[in-house]
């Protein structure tokens, strides 16, 4: 979905530039997706003081895998993660 529209947009930009137009590329993906909610919730639970003390997360792949496992195994975590996405899409910071 998102990749296709990005590729089409890039193709249109190249055509417009070729014929002499000035193009400003802006790619906005408005769907925050469940992954963001899941990662936010995992960060909140594993590092509750992350706002004051930045966690040393050196392996993002492992961080994602741990969050995904929790999401798949824990219905409450899954629901809270989904609510995080709703809050993000509503403009919560």
pLDDT above 70 for 1: no
Half-sphere exposure of 5 (CA within 13 A, CB side): 7
Token code pair at residue 26: 């802006």
Express each pLDDT in 24-73 by its tens digit. Answer: 988 766 666 888 899 999 999 999 998 888 888 888 889 999 999 999 99
Q: What is the DSSP letter of 53?
A: S
pTM: 0.63
Q: Where are the alpha helices (DSSP H) in 2-73?
A: 2-18, 33-46, 60-73
User: What is the reported pLDDT for 51?
Assistant: 85
Q: Which of 9-18, 38-47, 80-89 has the lowest mean pLDDT?
A: 80-89
């Amino acid at each position: 979905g998102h990749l296709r529209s990005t590729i089409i947009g890039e193709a249109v930009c190249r055509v417009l530039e070729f014929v002499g137009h000035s193009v400003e590329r802006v790619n906005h993906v408005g769907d925050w997706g469940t992954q963001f909610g899941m990662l936010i919730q995992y960060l909140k639970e594993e590092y509750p003081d992350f706002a004051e003390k930045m966690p040393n997360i050196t392996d993002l792949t492992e961080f994602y895998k741990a969050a995904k496992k929790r999401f798949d195994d824990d219905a409450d975590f899954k629901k809270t993660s989904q609510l995080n996405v709703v809050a993000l899409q509503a403009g919560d910071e």
